[in-house]
Structure 1
Amino acid sequence: MSHRREIHADPDHQSITGMFGGWTAAVALSSVINASTSDARPVSMTINFVGSIAPGSDVELSPTMVGATRSMEHWSVAASCGGETRAAAMIVLANRRPTEPHVEPTMPSVPAPESLERYFAPGPQGQQSDIRPTAPVAFGSGDTKSSQWVRDSNGRRLDYPQLAYLADQWAPRSFLWGTGLRPSATLTMSVYFLATEDELDAVGDDYILNEGIGTRGEQSLSGQRAHLWSRNGVLLATTEQLCWYR
């Protein structure tokens, strides 16, 4: 059974050199959720960005189940334009079971988003997210730690695809530890979805906190990771990225 579908690359989600990576991750994840016939929900995704997707183009998504157990489904999905792969992802869905909980990190103490100024990320996609940095964006400061409140500008409620979208809504760390703005592109991004559906429902259309830090930049490669928190301190997801910079 084919699960292929074609979507339009909405220019409203264009970044600097093509479609915003968070948009690509979100539509890839949505295609798998829609293709699955079980009650399993996303727990992880890794997406590799092979090439840029031109705004306004037609994008073919081809989700394929790689294998499954009673509790897990493993899927691959490619995003193609004109027969050429632009992104490829591996996604795991799971039927989660009740177990004892554990949380290691703690949410940082930051000002409420309502007290902060809005920041607009580059490109039309910067209009689609309400971004409130908790401190002035210090490009070129050498400090890679930052945090910002983010939510959809149009009132979309948080779900797994929207969480994947917002997991990419933070600046490349090479902007912060380097000399400022510079050419940078995400090569690969992994998102680990820790939130339950009830926890996502509780967030609704409210802000979540994206707490990021760089790991290392060397010979054109820069690593970075982030925690995504609800306003009341629930760790919703973690993400890891590897970027190419000049």
Structure 2
Amino acid sequence: MSTPHVFDTAIALQPQGDGVFAGSTSPAYANMIGPFGGITAAQVLNAVLLHPDRLGDPIALTINFAGPVADGPFTIRPRAARTNRSTQHWTVELLQGDEVLVTATVFTAVRRDTWTGDESQMPDVPRAPEVPVTPRHGVEWLRRYEMRFLEGSIPAKWDGAVRDESLSRMWVRDHPPRPLDYPSLTALSDVFFPRIWLRRATFVPIGTVSMTVYYHADAAQLAAAGTSHLLIQAQGQGFGGGYFDHAGQLWDEQGTLLATTHQLVYYKE
């Protein structure tokens, strides 16, 4: 019997009845304080995916981090707020004790066969095998990913140098490799380090407030990607008043746009 992938162990949930699930944070995805936000988002999405009343596949997820998640057990409560013929709207809460720490909405739907076209095109970059693996240092969750930076890596020196832009591009996949699916795509949408660090080369405290992922690929397209690398990029948009946002895109090796993401992050001077 094969050992489960560390990601699958981390997002595993146990039904508690009445559509409620129990889970726990994973030391393998530990961040500086609490868990990596991407794994929490994947756990929240997985609760909807496991719910017996789910209709269709994920189209959009918005997760709001209302408070810090402590290491240890938690409860996730997904609820279908409305179900139509081919669409479904979910509200989700993650709790530790009686305290709500995460709120989320998930939109699922049965996809239809329609015209398809992407305006967001994958940039012309060297293929993943041509790019060296970037050494992984620091917090534990970084060891769960194979990253190959093309540009916009974390600053080599925290010298306060101000850049004109905060664009990062890299090839990335789970480490060890794992077949792509909706939970892993969700976590991969959060592997970007804070844009404020790249824009100013200053190590300021940060915290993600809200993250949205739009899923452009169906389950068959994700399965076709298999364990190959994804090309991902992110760039900041507005900075000020203690908050900034970034927009990001994720493509498979064939240039298919799999997901887009938007994130709002708190920072402190």
RMSD of aligned alpha carbons: 1.5
Instruction: Select 1:104's aligned residue among 109, 119, 125.
Output: 119
State the Cα distance separating 1:110 from its structure 2 match.
Answer: 1.6
- Secondary structure of the equivalent of 1:195? coil
Q: 1:45-64 to 2 correspondence within 5 Å?
A: 45-55=61-71, 57-64=72-79
Count residues in correspondence.
245
Partner AA of 2:68 in structure 1: S
Partner AA of 1:187 in structure 2: V
Compare 76-85 and 22-31 and name the one that shifted more: 76-85
Cα 1:91–1:39 shift into 2, 3 Å: closer
Q: Which runs of 5+ in 1 are unaligned?
A: none
CA contact (8 A) 2:44 2:94 kept: yes
Partner AA of 2:61 in structure 1: M
- Secondary structure of the equivalent of 1:210? strand
Question: Normalized against structure 2, the TM-score is what?
Answer: 0.87
State the Cα distance separating 1:38 from its structure 2 match.
Answer: 4.7
Match for residue 230 of structure 1?
A: 252
Compare 146-155 and 232-241 and name the one that shifted more: 146-155
Percent identical: 30
Partner AA of 1:113 in structure 2: A
Compare 64-73 and 114-123 and name the one that shifted more: 114-123
CA contact (8 A) 1:49 1:188 kept: yes
Match for residue 17 of structure 1?
A: 33
Match for residue 167 of structure 1?
A: 189
Q: 1:59-78 to 2 correspondence within 5 Å?
A: 59-78=74-93
State the Cα distance separating 1:116 from its structure 2 match.
Answer: 1.9
Summarize deviations over 1:139-192 as a string: whole Å, max 9, x none. Answer: 355121111111110222110011000000011110111233221111000000
Partner AA of 2:32 in structure 1: I
Matched, 1:243 2:265: yes
Question: Normalized against structure 1, the TM-score is what?
Answer: 0.95
Q: Which runs of 5+ in 2 are unaligned?
A: 1-16, 156-160
**Structure 2 CA distance, aligned partners of 1:216 and 1:2?**
42
Cα 1:36–1:102 shift into 2, 3 Å: farther
- Secondary structure of the equivalent of 2:151? coil
Match for residue 218 of structure 2?
A: 196
Partner AA of 1:90 in structure 2: T
